[in-house]
Structure formats: structure tokens, C-alpha cells
Structure 1
């Protein structure tokens, strides 16, 4: 749903590669605060409930992040457990497993750029629990601090594009532009996010927005909750709520 959306061409990585080694910082940058961690091993466990016109859709997901190479690179793996509950369908099982790699070519104490390439596999235990397609999702992120580092803005652009899978399922071709604003209040944070999408397959605009409330519980543990609402033509759900826990180690 919410989660990080963005753009084409990995060839752009080459243009930024020369900046990577000398500009990476270990602390006080847009990617070491709250939910954006690239320098520590991270486990994120969350549950998201979505209300749809035909019933409900629930995702319990385990996400693992691991820095690699010179820590300008980051590996991500997502393992979802999906439950559907409609008048005609009640199923629970493994959803489409995905893996991705992120690269930070430029980063200083107030702003940074990151790229990500992700592959979402056609691995769901049941056709009703996945897309039936293999999807490639390249993305680009820009983050910056404002107001004496009390406000963090991260903008992202992602494209999800089918490259294989069942001929009986609809192709995926969705572009999303997302803006995430985090207001840091000591150990707490409040965030607002709006994602604007265009689905080229059905010519729809399945947008969504959420407000997030989070707290740093210990030095390495954080928790958050955010209600969300969908809007636009061909929206995929009506409203939802997500709660999660971050563990750094």
C-alpha cells in the first residue's frame, strides 16, 4: 500500500556512483531517523488491515533490511502473510515474496538521494493472495531536513511493471509519486503521507494518504500506527490501519 514508490532507469546509478564513497555519513542524515534505516540491520514487523467494497484484506509482513558492501548499499526482503475475507472467498497463506536492493549515491547531514530496484515474485500460495505476475519496481528517493532537523521530507517516485506471469491475470503498470513528512518531537514523531498513483492498465488513480504516530521505545526499538484512506478512480480499498514494530540490531 503506502510503502516507498518510484521510477525507472537503473542506468542513472552510474551517473552518481563517483559520489558514493566520500559522502556517506554514519549518523544525522535523512536515512538514519525513525523508519528510514540503511546503516543498521533492521527487522520490521507490521500488520495492515484494508477495508474493500467486497470485504477485507489483511497483510502481516516481516521485512528484513541488511546493509552490504560499503553501507551505501542495502538489501531488503519482504515475506507477507495474506488473509482475505469476502462473501465468496476466505483464504490465508503466503503472498508474493519480494526482494530489493537500494543504493545511496549521495548523503550528507541535511539531504540525500537513494535508488532502489525491487522484484516482486509470483510466489503466492493461492492466486487470490497475489497478483499472478512477476513485477519489477525501480524507484528513486530524495530526503531533506528542515526547521533545525525537526522536519524530515522524503519524496519518492516508483514504477511497477509486469515482466512475466500468468496470461490470465491483468498486467501491472503503475507509477506512484509519494511525499512523506515527518515531524520529530523528542522520542515521538508524527508523519503525514500522500501517494498519487496512475494505473496505466485500467486508466485509474488509486491514491491514498495516511497519518502516522510513532514512538522510540528503546534505543533500538520503535513502534508506529497509522490510519489511511484511499481516494481516486479505481481505488483498491476504502480505508485501512497499519501498526508496526521496528527492531534495530
Structure 2
């Protein structure tokens, strides 16, 4: 809880001392307007993620909607996951934990910027194996910067997940994430590498993962991508996975 309060204090201080532009910023040329992670346009993301684990496989089909509000420095996010499990004992499909969040861009320039985000994941899964059994709050700090005449984009994220309510029979959630994503743009395509270090305080171990991603603009506002991933660390939650997604920008 002390860690959570510290993160909230840091985010509050940053948001109090930095301000985004008051005018409509949807056309601002900044790292946060890059189509792969666009904060200023309405976005629909539909992706399917397959994860292989020691106890079988998990398949998540997720619908994510991002809706800018106000002067578009603010952004609402909603996630609706449908999860399928496949193991030696049981195969089943159902709704996972529904999540909602809000992002704010307090500072940006043409080559760099700072973002703040808070998400709440509800305890709404229809089956215990489809969710954490907890209500979880996830504050995050995001830094983005262009390099080499905007040929490369670096996005760094510090995030903490902390449960605050839910089933007393389930383990508490307390995980800190430090993630770095580097994207290389060429023509209508991009190639990305990402390494995420996650420390699980309850398990007292790391649940890290890394992925490579290839994406392409198929129209000016429609993008597709695929990225394989691999997990590493003493308490990794899966072995390997692959995600395929479609983004639609409005």
C-alpha cells in the first residue's frame, strides 16, 4: 500500500506542475500521435492473444475502445476480454475481467512527451480461472521520445498493479512493471522490440517477457500487426505466445 501511495503522489505532482495545450490537440505532431499508440483519436483495437503455459493454453480475444474527451489531452479506455482455456482437464470459454481507464497527456513537444494513465480492472470474470478474483488499480507513468528524424520512437512505461478488493480466497495482486518499447518506422511498416520487467511482490519473483512486432498500415487509418513473445524470469506466468491485432482510427 505504501508503494501505491508513493506512485499516486508522483503522478499527482507531475500532473500539477505540467499542463497540456488548451486547444484541440488532435493534429499535434508528437510521439503520442503516432498511429500505433494514438492518444488523440478514437480508436478500436481488436486483438487475439495465444499464451502457452505449463498447465495448458489461454486464448484471449479482446475488444479495446479508446475515446478522447475534452481538448483530447484526456482519453478514456475500455477493455472487454473473452477468454478460452485449453488444458488436459477442462476446456471452457467466458468473459474475463472488464477494465476501464483514463489517460492524460500533461506535457508534449514534437519529439518527446509525458503521459499519465490509471486503469481499474474489475472482478467480473464469469469463472475464477478467467480473472484474478480481485479489483485492481493500475497507475502508470509514460515517457515517449522520437529519434533520428522520427524514424525511431522509444516508449518507456513504469506501472504498478495493486488489488484493493475482491475474493479473500484469491492471492493479492501487487506487481511493478518497467517496460521499454522501441519502434522503427519505414514506409507503411514498423518493426518493434519490447522488453518488460515485472516484479511480483506476492510471489517474490520476476514475471518478465519480451516480444518483437511487425505492423503495417493497410489504409491511412487501419493498421494490422503481429508479435510473438517469450516469457522469462523465476516466476514467469507463461512460456511463449503470439498476438495478432487490428487497429481502426477515427
Q: TM-score, normalised by structure 2?
A: 0.94
Q: Map 1:1-249 to 2 at 5 A.
A: 8-9=7-8, 10-21=11-22, 24=25, 26-249=27-250
Runs of 5+ in structure 1 lacking a partner? 1-6
Separation in structure 2 between the aligned mates of residue 206 and residue 89 of structure 1, nearest angstrom: 25
Q: Secondary structure at the match of 2:17?
A: helix
The answer to whether the Cα contact below 8 Å between 2:49 and 2:243 also exists between their aligned partners in 1 is yes
Q: CA deviation at 1:106?
A: 0.6
Separation in structure 1 between the aligned mates of residue 227 and residue 13 of structure 2, nearest angstrom: 33
Separation in structure 1 between the aligned mates of residue 7 and residue 55 of structure 2, nearest angstrom: 33
Cα pair distance change 1:191/1:169, threshold 3 Å: same
Separation in structure 2 between the aligned mates of residue 20 and residue 173 of structure 1, nearest angstrom: 35
Q: Relative contact order (C-alpha < 8 Å, sep 6+): which is higher?
A: 1
Runs of 5+ in structure 2 lacking a partner? 1-5
Q: Secondary structure at the match of 1:177?
A: strand
Deviations along 1:75-96, one digit per CA (max 9) or x if unpaired, are 0000000001111231100000
Q: Corresponding residue for 1:3?
A: none
Q: TM-score, normalised by structure 1?
A: 0.94
Count residues with an aligned counterpart.
243
Q: CA deviation at 1:38?
A: 1.2
Superposed CA RMSD in Å reads 1.5
Separation in structure 2 between the aligned mates of residue 216 and residue 130 of structure 1, nearest angstrom: 33
Q: CA deviation at 1:25?
A: 6.5
